[in-house]
C-alpha cells in the first residue's frame, strides 16, 4: 500500500494520531512536533511547508507507520517497518527535485538505515551516519548514587538571558539548530518545563521536561556549562525534571543520549532509565 503524504496537519492527526499515541516512545518526536505545530502554526520550525505521511500495510488496515518533515529540517521517521521506510524513500526520491530536497533522515536505526539505503539506491547519493543515539525510558526513578550539593527549582522569567545562552551553547555543542530560541525558552519557562539546579545560590545546570502528550514526556535538553561539570549536577537536575514529569501524570518519561558520550549513558541508567531503541541520524551526500 503506498504512503499517503499530505501537507495538512489536521489530516495527519486525524489519520495517524491514534497510531502515534499507541506507541508514544517510538513516536515521541512526532508527538511533540505536531503538538507544537498545532499550538504555534505550520511555520514554527521554518518557512517551508511541513509534510506528513502515514502508511498502511493494507488499504483498509490500520496505520502502521508515520513520518513528518518540517523544512529546513530532515524527515523524522516514527515507528514503521523497514520495508515501509524503504518505500517512503523511493517515493520521496521520485518527486520533483527529490534528490536535491533531502540532506538526511533521522529515526529508529532499522527504519532510518533502510530509508538511507533506498534513498542512496534511488538517487545515486551516499548515506553516512552522522549521529548515533539511544532512546531511554524511565523505569523506577532513583536518587543519584552520589547526590550533588544544591537543590532544584523551576526556571523563572529572571533566568531568561541565562537560559537562552545555555540553550545556544547546548545547540552548538551537539551540532543542532533550535529555531525561535527566545520563544522556546519563554514558552517552556511559562509552562513550568525548565528545571535549574542551584548550588550556593548559583544556577549550574538545566533540564527540560516536555508537556505530557499521549501519556509521554521527554527530558531535554540537559546541559551543564563546562566549568560546572563532573559534580553530579546533570544527574540531580535530570532526576528533578523526571520527578516533575511523573507528578504531571506522565506514564512514560523518555530521553535521548548520544552514544558517543558514555558518561551521560551511564548517569541516566543510574537514576532508573532503561534502553528502548537505538536511533540514527543520516547525512546524504554526493
pLDDT in tens, 155-198: 999 999 999 999 999 999 988 889 889 999 999 999 999 999 99
What's the whole-model pTM score?
0.94
Q: Are 102 and 75 in contact (CB under 8 A)?
A: yes
Query: pLDDT at position 12, please?
Result: 98
- Cα separation, 50 vs 56, in Å, equals 21
Query: pLDDT at position 264, please?
Result: 84
- pLDDT tens digit sequence for 8-64: 999 999 999 999 999 999 999 999 999 999 999 999 998 899 999 999 999 889 999
Sign for the pseudo-dihedral over CA of 149, 154, 158, 159: positive
Q: What number of H helices and E strands is found in the chain?
A: 9, 12
CA 40 to chain centre: 18
Continuous H helices in the chain: 9-22, 28-40, 82-93, 98-101, 109-123, 160-174, 181-190, 233-247, 262-270
Query: pLDDT at position 225, please?
Result: 96
Query: pLDDT at position 75, please?
Result: 97
Query: pLDDT at position 98, please?
Result: 59
- Cα separation, 96 vs 93, in Å, equals 8
Place of cell 549521529: 131
> In this structure, what DSSP letter does residue 79 have?
S
**CA dist 200 to 38, 111, 149, 152, 155, Å?**
40, 46, 8, 12, 16
Alpha-carbon dihedral 175, 108, 45, 63, rounded to 10 degrees: 180
Amino acid at each position: 500500500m503506498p504512503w499517503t503524504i499530505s501537507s495538512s496537519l489536521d489530516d495527519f492527526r486525524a489519520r495517524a494520531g491514534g497510531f502515534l499515541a499507541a506507541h508514544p516512545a517510538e513516536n515521541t518526536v512526532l508527538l511533540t512536533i505536531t503538538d507544537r505545530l498545532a499550538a504555534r502554526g505550520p511555520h514554527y520550525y521554518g518557512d517551508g511547508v511541513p509534510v506528513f505521511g502515514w502508511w498502511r500495510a493494507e488499504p483498509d488496515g490500520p496505520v502502521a507507520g508515520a513520518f513528518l518533515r518540517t523544512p529546513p529540517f530532515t524527515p523524522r521517521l516514527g515507528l514503521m517497518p523497514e520495508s515501509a521506510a524503504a518505500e517512503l524513500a523511493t517515493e520521496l526520491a521520485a518527486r520533483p527535485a527529490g534528490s536535491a530536497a533531502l540532506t538526511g533522515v533521522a529515526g529508529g536505526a532499522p527504519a532510518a538505515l533502510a530509508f538511507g539505503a533506498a534513498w542512496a539506491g534511488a538517487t545515486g547519493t551516499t548515506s553516512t551516519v552522522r549521529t548515533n543515539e539511544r532512546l531511554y525510558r524511565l523505569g523506577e526513578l532513583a536518587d543519584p548514587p552520589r547526590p550533588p550539593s544544591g537543590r532544584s527549582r523551576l526556571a523563572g522569567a529572571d533566568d531568561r538571558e541565562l537560559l537562552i545562552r545555555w540553550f545556544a551553547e547546548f545547540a552548538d555543542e551537539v551540532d543542532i539548530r533550535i529555531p525561535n530560541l527566545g520563544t522556546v525558552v519563554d514558552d517552556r519557562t511559562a509552562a513550568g518545563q525548565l528545571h535549574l539546579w542551584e548550588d550556593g545560590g548559583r544556577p549550574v545546570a538545566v533540564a527540560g521536561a516536555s508537556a505530557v502528550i499521549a501519556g509521554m514526556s521527554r527530558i531535554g535538553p540537559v546541559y551543564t556549562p563546562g566549568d560546572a561539570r563532573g559534580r553530579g549536577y546533570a544527574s540531580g537536575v535530570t532526576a528533578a525534571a523526571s520527578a516533575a514529569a511523573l507528578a504531571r501524570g506522565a506514564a512514560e518519561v523518555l530521553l535521548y543520549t548520544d552514544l558517543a558520550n558514555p558518561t551521560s549513558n551511564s548517569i541516566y541508567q543510574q537514576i532508573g532509565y532503561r534502553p528502548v531503541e537505538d536511533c540514527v541520524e543520516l547525512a546524504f551526500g554526493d
